[in-house]
Amino acid sequence: MDITSNKLYKTKAFIDGAWVNKVSTFSVTNPFDNSLIANVADCDRQDCKHAIDKAFEAFQKWSKFTAGKRSKILKKWYQLQLENVDTLARLLTLEQGKPLAEAVGEVRYGASFVEWFAEEAKRIYGDVIPGHMKDKRITVIKQPVGVVGAITPWNFPSAMITRKVAPALAAGCTVVLKPSELTPLSALALAQLAEEAGFPPGVFNIITAKNPKPIGEELTTNKKVKKISFTGSTAIGKLLLEKSAAQVKKVSLELGGNAPFIVFEDADIDAAVEGCMISKFRNAGQTCICTNRIFLQESIHEEFVDKLSKKIEQLQVGNGLDTATHVGPMINESAVVKDENLLLDATSKGAEIRIGGTRLDGLFFSPTLVCKVNPSMDISKQEIFGPIAAVYTFKTEEEVITLANDTDYGLASYFYGRDYARIWRVAEALEYGMVGINSGMISTNVAPFGGVKQSGFGREGSKYGIEDYLNVKYMCWGGVV
């Protein structure tokens, strides 16, 4: 299929309901073979300001739409995404590299947020509070915050957009989106479907740019933008938070992770191995919630490692468009070099590579299992973001909780065991926003996604996900006698 002839193949920015061309463009390439996919409009700060102005104008009308009317348009957007799953997934695989089956899963997952928040739009309830004086009545309403600046990453270029945009639009906000310069095509395809769904001009805008810095500066300093929602690295999240602080903007940050995966000796080992494979190697390990540190109780170490090794050996590395592929390419050269350096540091300090550990041709890295890892190694402190399973051992529950919490991050965590008293203790003791108990897959539109510590704040998905796009207003009614 020639993707360039499809209606969803867009290379222009989308501002105020119009497709905007630019003389300057930047290249989007396929990480599988570095082939050119598209030359995309390279917007500047003035384009971003223009988009914000139009979003501000559109907000005056969109925020006054009934919840039911907004819901109807969102549901149409959801339906169009499902009708175009195959094209959206193929486009996603071409620009990001993940296996096509995973891309299909991501598109469906992303669409589920649109459906969910289309329904939540009609459930933004307020309160009536008993008055504090005889002649007083108290009511509470919720109102949309205004224009939202959203910045999304390359690893989930479709789902990370819908997870932010859907609740914002459902609440009555308008959006200016800056997708990753590595994967803008999925965002533009969603804009095409949004246009078909009937969103008024200016409600949903997309600024594509090779250099994200001036776009980020405009979004964080422009007074018309009332909220920033960002998914990406902790370092960039801190910069955006600092810039936004001058105007005390509302900010939601979903940042880096260093997820522990704990297996106690009473666990179902086979189930734990399966959960580990799902969590570790999905998207070539390039997810913020994937397993980073595997902690095995000493008595089950060899059995678990043996079974995990056999599973890893079965993984096929290759082109994401090949149905036999389990692990696609890394996103770019720096990602591959980072993993090479992490392994070099680990082995120099005593770690042992059981499987893999080598760079393959192009941007591929072999699925790797490394044992005898300890907290002194860089691989223990940094987010791996690659197909490397790092194994540690522990003796006691108290020891592993200390090890698991010994990180600046607090996004996702996982553990396997059967002792329900211990399950409660460990789940409560882990300093993470999300805990997978006997499960390696925790992402769903019905649950609140987000972290603590330097993994950020705010929640996406579930009934909590729309709250970050709303202001609470208290009204005190006097003279009611």
Query: Token pair for residue 138?
Result: 């108290």
Please state at what angle helix 269-281 crosses helix 301-313, rounded to 10 degrees: 50
What residues have CB less than 8 Å from 171, skipping those under 6 apart? Answer: 121, 124, 144, 145, 466, 469, 470
Annotated catalytic residue: which of 43, 173, 276, 288?
288
| β-pairing verdict for 13-15 and 18-20 | antiparallel
Bridge partners (DSSP) of residue 140 are: 127, 474
- Amino acid occupying residue 339: D
Say how many Å lie between the first and final Cα of the chain, rounded: 72
| β-pairing verdict for 259-263 and 225-231 | unpaired
Catalytic-residue membership of 288:
yes
**3-class state of residue 259 by DSSP:** strand
| β-pairing verdict for 456-457 and 250-254 | antiparallel
- Amino acid occupying residue 223: K
Comparing CA positions, the residue from 411, 344, 408 lying closest to residue 379 is 344
* CB 137, CB 131: distance < 8 Å: yes
At 99, give phi and psi (nearest 5°).
Answer: -55, 145
Catalytic-residue membership of 254:
yes
* CB 440, CB 277: distance < 8 Å: yes
Annotated catalytic residue: which of 120, 254, 383, 460?
254
Active site residues: 254, 288
